[in-house]
Amino acid sequence: MLITGASRGIGAATALLAAQAGYDLLLNYARDAGAAQALVDQIRPLGVNVQAVQADVSSEADVLRLFAVLDEAFGRLDVLVNNAGVVARKSALRDMDMARWQAVFGINVLGTLLCSREAVRRMAAGASIVNLSSAAARLGSPNEYVDYAASKGAVDTLTLGLSRELAEQGIRVNAVRPGLIDTDIHASSGQPDRMVRLAPQIPMQRGGSALEVAQAIVWLASGQASYVTGALLDVAGGR
């Protein structure tokens, strides 16, 4: 299993759960080598092959290098989890600039496309891709980050199209759409109190955990979901 953006949050939780299920792991990270190495050290006692590789998924050269490491170290790919994603600071559209959009779409959309392309070139029947979308694709995130929401809408569309493109080859493609989840993505958008502030709007009256999202990802990746493809699975507490 290759997990992009694996050094923290949902990516790290997915890596731990996948390791417990017996997956060998290639963990991609963008900047935080210390966090990535700490995760490798935490996983290694579980007895699986695990390695961390730095790469910016919005860079084609970096993605090609990442998959070259995969080829050499593992020789095969059964699962790709397109988890790497970014959100910019809270803003209305009128105040956004091109640099922001290029960063958001570069990682969230082009990164998912690049990694999916390289994965498909290596996958055989029984393999699967799990994309990380967001409930924002449904909700639009007005006055917060409509650009992020739009990028995740693109991930939804890619999931649907690619699932149909690969179905006859026996490769499944699904997406998980997390809602309000307790990770540091809220602080990175300048809203560290977002979990507490928005919890009353959620039917379950609470935010979710990274582990709850990871459980959905690992299930979709597994043979237990063998007849599931093209699904957009909301993990959003009913919101």
Catalytic center residues? 148
User: Dihedral sign, CA of 159, 180, 215, 45?
Assistant: positive
Q: Which residues, at least 6 apart from 34, have a Cβ–Cβ distance to it below 8 Å? A: none
Q: Which residues contact 169 (CB under 8 A, 6 or more apart)?
A: 123, 125
Return the C-alpha torsion angle 108, 111, 116, 119, nearest 10: -140
Burial bucket for residue 97 (CB in 10 Å: 0-12, 13-18, 19+): exposed
- How far does CA 167 lie from the centroid of its chain? 21
DSSP annotation of 208:
B
Strand ordering across the sheet containing 79-82: 50-54, 25-29, 2-3, 79-82, 128-132, 172-178, 232-235
